[in-house]
Structure 1
Amino acid sequence: MARETVPKKIALDIPANFPAVLDDPDNPLTEQGVALGRLLFYDTRLSGSNKLSCASCHHQELAFSDGIALSNTGESGQTLPRHAPALINLAWAKSGLFWDGGSTNLESQAFGPLTSADEMHQNLSELEDELKAVPDYAKRFQEAFGTGVKSANIAKALAQFQRTLISGNSRYDKYIRKEDGSILTHQEIRGMLLVNAKCRSCHSGELFTDGGYHNNGIDKDFSNASLDGLYQGRSRITYNPLDLGKFKTPTLRNVALTPPYMHDGRIKTLAEVIEHYNSGVEVSPTTDVLLSQNNGQAGVPLSLQDKSDIIAFLNTLTDEDFIRNIKFNKPNLP
């Protein structure tokens, strides 16, 4: 009788300047689970037409974003109403996923794009049958989870792989950790101080996000019943009118690699993002008071030099190791 393989538990490689992260007791990280999740992430079998994978909209060279404001590469060809987020440091994502927090964890999040008619449009029962027919997958699911191919374990494997997508080796990180030869220029340091003073209320900590939801003043009218309230932000989930127009704070890590910006990709460049906060904040009852930095009025006053220095600093958050890490790239699929 063949001896049963016990999944080998592994720990995340956490950068020294990062906060601790707790393993998920319902889906502990294992060598076999991560390897399986990586295969599934790149496998077009996960879509109904066998033409799309998770990686179709999350490219490693773009910090697992897609560089498109609103994609129409899904199964239906319809333009999606929201921008595909970058996949960075998701092991710390404990306050909801999607732009409105509509999913509580990575495991449940996976079923959204998998089953959406406008995205991967996959029938989960058919997907199970399709993967069961591949001997290598049948073996890997048994080794990772002790069961055959099940949709719940597809989601678990994908979640395990995505939790390993840790970005913490930028020039900024090396400077903060005082690694040998790591320096920032005077302009970059001034930009860092400006970001710390003016942006850190939302883009907080070493993750450069508070994981929360804010109305950052890109709109003042949130009525769009025809789109199922998608522009209403967090209130679509909580039904709390105080959450109207609030969207999840994205990380600033690798931000130079992930244009366009905002939940619908409407802003093309970092310079335009900064100008929005400087002069373009739209005021509504739920606009975040943290943006009232102009003598109590909405806006974050910045000089031309301030804007240039902030962009210089944001570029130090680009992690070249992350976008080249061979542990994250496309493997040979079974």
Structure 2
Amino acid sequence: MSDPTKFTCLIKWLMTVACLVFSSALSSDNSNIGSAEWSSKELALINSLRLQNLGESPVDPSNRFSGITAAENLGRQIFNDSRFSKNGQVSCSSCHQSEYGFTDSLPRAKGIELTSRRSMPLAGVAYQQWFFWDGRSDSLWSQALSPLENPREHGLSRSRVAELVLTHYRAAYDSIVQTVTNNKLDELTLPLSETKTTEIFVNTGKIIAAFVSTIEHESTLFDEYANATLTNKGDFTKLFSPKEKNGLRLFIGKAQCISCHNGPLFSNGEFHHAGVEDDETLDHGRAAAVELIAQSEFSCYSVWSDASKEKECEHLRFLDTNAQRYYRAFKTPSLRGVAARPPYMHAGQISTLAEVLKNYRAALTRGVSDELRHQDLTNKELEELEAFLATLSPL
């Protein structure tokens, strides 16, 4: 669902249903002392944010290598291999570093050259539908292909990617492709035909995606607090400070952060105008991408996708292409681990979480976003929100 208004309505409806169901469950168990500090509605919202409710990582129907262990292992090797760049110094892990939540500490990503946007974190991406800040890719594997060809990032040609795979990973690649397709491989000799080159290029993206989809979020202090509060197991009173507890109450209540940052991922996966200015060239965000997605060479509709075009590409069939609606809108990132990965926003324009919160409070009055209505939050409340956000860091 791409219409943000419809999506918001759906989220509110789901939350209402969750509240009713959860409230009923609580009323039948008066021994749940841990829930006494929260209303039934608040408890339902807290429950909706727990990591344990995320479920198993989904298999991508457009990627035949998704969920294949051998592909995941080969994907990990290629992900960390700097030979897959024009200068031999840039790998996927150059910008997606595990110590920074699989992003980096730079305002804007730097491959061979400086790019225009910040690196996005990779944990939990298997649960997402759109990729990049503007959502111009509709699969993780098509996203993985773009940096390889981008002259600012890896700077490779498709033929060079195919050559590197066949030179350094031929046995593993052949085994994976032959096993998955159940077909005897054609003899591959260089130079390859254009079609065969693109096939190996695409398969490389799918194999990288198979690995990246295994990168998951880790449990946090919030998850421990939520579990203890909802199950009355453990000393929930000592897990959260009053400041952190107040921040959580604001997050799901008055501040309405949960409107966009909801579910176990703390993100609705949609696109919103966060009220930040670009330092250099004006970035149109999602608006520049919506009309191009379905026609992309590597979309779910393409010949390179393994998905059923009629049954598994609904996100394109019902795609909202109203560019005006998405002018300067960017993807809502997950808030899990957010305190450990500054700077913030799509081009790293803001250095600290405290500044982000102040920016959100001022956005409506500055006329830079009509989606953010937080002007009545006090400085104390912003500090409490920041304290809560710090509890979303991995333990």
Q: TM-score, normalised by structure 1?
A: 0.79
Separation in structure 1 between the aligned mates of residue 206 and residue 107 of structure 2, nearest angstrom: 28
Separation in structure 2 between the aligned mates of residue 99 and residue 129 of structure 1, nearest angstrom: 30
Q: CA deviation at 1:145?
A: 2.4
Match of 2:260, SS state, is: coil
Q: Is the 8 A contact 1:46 1:127 kept in 2?
A: yes
1:186 pairs with 2:186: no
Q: Extract unaligned runs of 5+ from structure 2.
A: 1-49, 179-184, 189-198, 292-322
1:316 pairs with 2:391: yes
- 261-270 or 302-311: bigger deviation: 302-311
- Give the corresponding residue for 1:52: 90
Q: What does 1:159-178 correspond to in 2, within 5 Å?
A: 159-178=209-228
- Give the corresponding residue for 1:99: 133
Separation in structure 1 between the aligned mates of residue 336 and residue 122 of structure 2, nearest angstrom: 11
67, 78, 83: which one pairs with 2:118?
A: 83
1:115 pairs with 2:141: no
Change in 2 beyond 3 A, CA 1:276/1:99: same
81, 90, 108: which one pairs with 1:70?
A: 108
Separation in structure 2 between the aligned mates of residue 248 and residue 144 of structure 1, nearest angstrom: 33
- Give the corresponding residue for 2:61: 25
Q: CA deviation at 1:180?
A: 4.4
- Give the corresponding residue for 1:211: 269
Q: CA deviation at 1:18?
A: 1.6
Between Structure 1 and Structure 2, how many residues are aligned? 286
- Give the corresponding residue for 1:231: 283
Separation in structure 2 between the aligned mates of residue 316 and residue 208 of structure 1, nearest angstrom: 13
Change in 2 beyond 3 A, CA 1:56/1:21: closer
Match of 1:87, SS state, is: coil
Structure whose alpha-carbon radius of gyration is higher: 2
- Give the corresponding residue for 1:266: 349
- Give the corresponding residue for 1:331: none
Q: Which amino acid aligns with 1:310?
A: L
Q: Spell out structure 1 runs of 4+ moving beyond 6 A.
A: none
Q: CA deviation at 1:23?
A: 1.3
Separation in structure 2 between the aligned mates of residue 171 and residue 143 of structure 1, nearest angstrom: 42
Change in 2 beyond 3 A, CA 1:280/1:242: closer
Q: Is the 8 A contact 1:278 1:301 kept in 2?
A: yes
Q: TM-score, normalised by structure 2?
A: 0.68
Q: CA deviation at 1:306?
A: 1.0
- Give the corresponding residue for 1:277: 360
Change in 2 beyond 3 A, CA 1:126/1:93: same
- Give the corresponding residue for 1:37: 75
Separation in structure 2 between the aligned mates of residue 170 and residue 305 of structure 1, nearest angstrom: 24
Q: CA deviation at 1:45?
A: 1.5
200, 205, 214: which one pairs with 1:155?
A: 205
Separation in structure 1 between the aligned mates of residue 116 and residue 61 of structure 2, nearest angstrom: 34
Q: Is the 8 A contact 1:69 1:83 kept in 2?
A: yes
Q: CA deviation at 1:288?
A: 3.9
Q: Is the 8 A contact 1:16 1:177 kept in 2?
A: no
Q: What does 1:125-140 correspond to in 2, within 5 Å?
A: 125-134=159-168, 137-140=169-172
- Give the corresponding residue for 2:174: 142
Separation in structure 2 between the aligned mates of residue 42 and residue 301 of structure 1, nearest angstrom: 46
Q: Is the 8 A contact 2:51 2:265 kept in 1?
A: no
Q: Is the 8 A contact 1:215 1:245 kept in 2?
A: yes
Separation in structure 1 between the aligned mates of residue 62 and residue 334 of structure 2, nearest angstrom: 26
Q: Which amino acid aligns with 2:111?
A: G
Change in 2 beyond 3 A, CA 1:288/1:160: farther
Q: Which has the higher helix share?
A: 2
Q: Is the 8 A contact 1:91 1:163 kept in 2?
A: yes
Question: What's the CA shift string for 1:66-90, capped at 9, x where partnerless?
Answer: 111123x322x3x311111111210
Q: Extract unaligned runs of 5+ from structure 1.
A: 1-13, 293-298, 321-334
Separation in structure 1 between the aligned mates of residue 370 and residue 260 of structure 2, nearest angstrom: 10
Q: What does 1:219-258 correspond to in 2, within 5 Å?
A: 219=277, 231-238=283-290, 240-258=323-341
Match of 1:276, SS state, is: helix
Question: What's the CA shift string for 1:274-301, capped at 9, x where partnerless?
Answer: 11012244425xx343x23xxxxxx442
- 230-239 or 144-153: bigger deviation: 144-153
Q: CA deviation at 1:204?
A: 0.9
Q: Is the 8 A contact 1:203 1:209 kept in 2?
A: yes
Q: Is the 8 A contact 2:136 2:290 kept in 1?
A: no
Separation in structure 2 between the aligned mates of residue 81 and residue 317 of structure 1, nearest angstrom: 28
Q: Is the 8 A contact 1:194 1:310 kept in 2?
A: yes
Match of 1:23, SS state, is: coil
Change in 2 beyond 3 A, CA 1:288/1:40: farther
Identity over the aligned pairs, expressed in percent? 31
